[in-house]
Chain A
Amino acid sequence: MATTSRARTHQPLGSQLRRRKPLADPKAGKASGPQLARTIGVFQLTMFGVGATVGTGIFFVLQEAVPDAGPAVVFSFLVAGLAAGLSAVCYAELASAIPVSGSTYSYTYHALGEGVAMFVAACVLLEYGVAASAVAVGWSGYFNELLLNTVGFQIPDALSYSPIPFEENTTGLINLPAVVLVVLCTMLLVRGASESALVNTIMVVIKLSVLVLFVVIAFTAFEGDRFDAFWGAGAAGVSAAAATIFFSFIGLDAVSTAGEEVKDPQRTLPRALMGALVVVVAIYVLVALAGVGSQPLEDFSSEDQQSAGLSVILTNITGTTLAGTILAAGAVISIFSVTLVTLYGQTRILFAMGRDGMLPTRFAEVHPRTLTPRFTTIVVCVVVSIVAGFVPSDYLWDTVSIGTLCAFTVVAIGVMVLRRTQPGLERPFKVPGYPVTPVLTVVACAYVAYGISPITWVIFLVWVTLVLSFYLFWGRHHAALGRAAEVDGARP
């Protein structure tokens, strides 16, 4: 075994980094099992995008973003939404040109080669893994608020806050509810549970209802003069807030990958993307306007709003706990589903990497009883639980954004590269306004990324270095592509 793996290093590193995964014959893949129908329309796809996006961050993000940007946080939402929308459009072209299933990682592997794919894999793993942790931490806050409001008991601080300090925030030993949530979701995933379109619709309705409840009640306490110093935090503040907010648009890219399922991608995809983006941005901006108008700016960074922020604002406005409790209950239910979906995404990306030989084959193993990748799911559970249990969410949000931003920047550049290198490639969906759109995407992503704090960049670079080192020392010797090339080479 050792000798064969050494033999695989014969291909020079440069060409290994550039080697692209060839596309399988689309007809060959179709026969292997039951397939999905391709009948998604504009409305359905729009709801799909709204369902995938709303809820990842809006329940937690005001408390992080308002202290950075002040009232101009509304503008930050627009900037982040613009960057996310442009990215999704670029991603849609890449996804439609390459008919494979997978994440940004899979598309890059086919389009831009192994080296870039590993970089994108590092970004995407960070995105989903940390997003799952961050969402679980946010859930923990709303869960505690719900407990306090309904049974009058709260899990003690030592068991509901992480030990790592962030500014003046409360610390504890471990964020136990977050860990328990991740473990519960893992058990469901190992058993093969999945969320259906119906459950998704119910979750969307719950999320939107409680957000509308928030907006309506918060507007009753609206005072215009709270927007007086609109640009007080300056451009740097807006950019920093946009960076934090960006993660709340994660999920919009799910629409981009649906190109294969829709009848007329060139028409349907952009409409659905725009539709979803408009709905999501409208909701977010309304929540931000209502939130900022309802209480003084400094309240957003107060200790009691550190967790379950929106619920606490409602309680403060109404003076009773009823509205806050309803919001907390809605958040607890819907964020559970967000955690489940995000963890699922993470396991399937690792699974795809295992299939490609970038990770040990155990990651691509399907358990014969449950028919799910059990090993991968448990590994994800352990890592995400540790992050959720011990790292405060303030560090997590920006890390999610940076991973997503970098992955999308690569995608936008990839679209331009592919147009030059493979002009003849069939593209069922083409980016409108080429080459302005991809260039604008890169600029928008760069502007948002500019607001990310140096410490987050350091974390990101360390992580990328780790992943790339793993690739250099292990992955490139075991890549399935290398093995296939070897077999071809051995043939007379």
Chain B
Amino acid sequence: MTIVVGWTPAPSGQAALDLGILLARSAGESLQVVTVVPAPWPVPSPARVDGEFAAWAAERGEVAVVAAREHLSQNAPDLPATCSWRHARSAAAGLDRAGADHQAIMTVLGSSSDGPHGRVVVGSTAGRLLHSSRIPVALASRGYRPGTATTVGRVTCAYRDDAGSVEVLQRTTAIAVAVGATLRVATFGVRGRTMYPPQVAIRTEDDVLAAWAEQAASAHARALAALDGAVEPHAVQTALAVGRDWAQALDDLPWERDDVLVVGSSPGSVLSRVFLGTTATKIVRHSPVPVVVVPSGG
């Protein structure tokens, strides 16, 4: 069993590798650092017109592997890790196949550079994997650095009161127990905007929010009771995070450098693949810490 990291010798690859190291060390797994380079034409042409391209791609792969080994030897000499490169039509397809080949338990990716610093930015490769992966996908926030943290300190489960969430919480709990991290169950909510003019009262939505908070609190109690002693209930933190929008809601919670947020995929997805619902997408986008997206029913 291993964890696959999608690596490129760039800041986003570095963030992914740092996250991969943290996760692998916490879970006691090995690392497979994989760089995907463009595949040459499958049929060799008589004049080998793409030979030069294939050689260039292979060279890029080698350079990436050397850089990965160097980063690993500096940051995680203790960790069993293999670095390799492979051809594929796309980075997502290559990582998907690498995951299957190595029977990986998770794929780790960085954020795209096209977004705010410190938030998770889903790029094209991550977007594709979130739609097709059968194993959890971990996403490092942009510019992620673990700092002094060597293992995951706390796992936060984004919990919503529905059937899919219960399953995600169970899996998160298992992970938290396995890596020896604290478990935090958090429910995120956005205050609805009051209709303008409201006809009834300007503060009506505060009542809706209060009702939601009460419901969420009792849902937390039920969820913890349903964990059946897998974890000491009093050792679990619960939290309600509320904001005017999703960014504020995510910022409403205190976060540490060694925090990881776990989000479940949409419960209605086909073939239990990872597929983000609208709320999950917003939570992922605004998360200030690395996110692990787990497929429901997988």
Q: Do A and B bind each other?
A: yes
Question: Are A365 and B195 interface neighbours, CB within 8 A?
Answer: no
Chain A interface bracket (under 10, 10 to 19, 20 to 34, 35 or more): 35 or more
Question: Are A366 and B193 interface neighbours, CB within 8 A?
Answer: no
B 179-209 to A, binary, CB cutoff 8 A, 1 in contact else 0: 0000000010111111111111111101111
Question: Are B192 and A194 interface neighbours, CB within 8 A?
Answer: yes
A412 to B: closest C-beta gap in Å: 19
Question: Are B197 and A103 interface neighbours, CB within 8 A?
Answer: no
Question: Are B244 and A34 interface neighbours, CB within 8 A?
Answer: yes
Question: Are B195 and A195 interface neighbours, CB within 8 A?
Answer: yes
Picked from A196, A355, A371, the residue with its CB within 8 Å of the CB of B196 is: A196
Residues of B within 8 A of A257 (CB): 198, 200-202
Cβ of A430 < 8 Å from any Cβ of B?
A: no
B26 to A: closest C-beta gap in Å: 30
> From residue 200 to 240 of chain B, which have CB atoms closer than 8 A to chain A?
200-204, 206-213, 215-216, 219
Cβ of A128 < 8 Å from any Cβ of B?
A: yes
> From residue 103 to 129 of chain A, which have CB atoms closer than 8 A to chain B?
103, 106, 128
Question: Are A254 and B208 interface neighbours, CB within 8 A?
Answer: no
The DSSP consensus for interface residues of chain A is: helix
Question: Are B219 and A368 interface neighbours, CB within 8 A?
Answer: yes
Residues of A within 8 A of B203 (CB): 35-36, 101, 260
A 58-91 to B, binary, CB cutoff 8 A, 1 in contact else 0: 0000000000000000000000000000000000
Known A-B contacts A32-B213, A373-B208; A340 and B162 likewise in contact (beta carbons under 8 Å):
no
Closest B-chain residue to A38, C-beta based? Answer: B202
Question: Are A101 and B197 interface neighbours, CB within 8 A?
Answer: no
Residues of A within 8 A of B191 (CB): 33-34
Residues of A within 8 A of B248 (CB): 34
Question: CA–CA, A365 to B214, complex, Å?
Answer: 10
B243 to A: closest C-beta gap in Å: 7
B208 to A: closest C-beta gap in Å: 6
Give the A-B pair count, Cβ closer than 8 A. 130
- Total contacting residues, chain B, CB less than 8 A: 37
A131 to B: closest C-beta gap in Å: 9
- Please choose the segment from A210-218, A345-353, A440-448, A469-477 that sits at the chain B interface, where 4 or more of its residues have CB less than 8 A away: A345-353
Question: CA–CA, A341 to B199, complex, Å?
Answer: 7
Question: CA–CA, A262 to B211, complex, Å?
Answer: 26
Question: CA–CA, A101 to B202, complex, Å?
Answer: 7
A259 to B: closest C-beta gap in Å: 10
Cβ of B279 < 8 Å from any Cβ of A?
A: yes
B163 to A: closest C-beta gap in Å: 11
Binding site for A on B (CB under 8 A): 160-162, 187, 189-204, 206-213, 215-216, 219, 242-244, 248, 277, 279
Q: 7 tightest A-B contacts by CB? A: A101-B203, A345-B199, A52-B197, A366-B212, A101-B201, A368-B161, A194-B193
Binding site for B on A (CB under 8 A): 29, 32-36, 48-49, 51-52, 101-103, 106, 128, 192, 194-197, 199-200, 251, 254, 257-258, 260-261, 340-342, 344-345, 348-349, 351-352, 355, 364-366, 368-369, 371-373
Residue contacts A-B, CB under 8 angstroms, 6 given: A101-B201, A101-B206, A103-B200, A341-B199, A369-B162, A373-B208
